[in-house]
Amino acid sequence: MGLFNFNRPADYLDAAREMAHSGRPTLARLLAEEAADRTTDPADAARIRAEFPGNSLRQED
């Protein structure tokens, strides 16, 4: 895995794609969810979630 700075939604999305390509779909989905949550445009957030389909893997309190 490359070195990432997680300052922007795109940083989380880049990491999600790298995790998906390296066979780590669960981590990819979690990173994609974080990217979508940090995205201000609802259409972009929906696009990100569609790229990494599946149910949310987060455990909320």
**Tens-digit pLDDT profile for residues 5-27:** 788 999 999 999 999 999 999 89
Q: How far apart are CA 32 and CA 11, in angstroms?
A: 10
The type of residue at 19 is M
Q: Band of the pLDDT at 37, cuts 50, 70, 90?
A: very high
- Average pLDDT on 25-54 reads 93
Instruction: Please state, in angstroms and rounded to a whole number, the distance separating the CA atoms of residues 4 and 11.
Output: 7
Q: Domain residues of the chain, as ranges?
A: 9-52
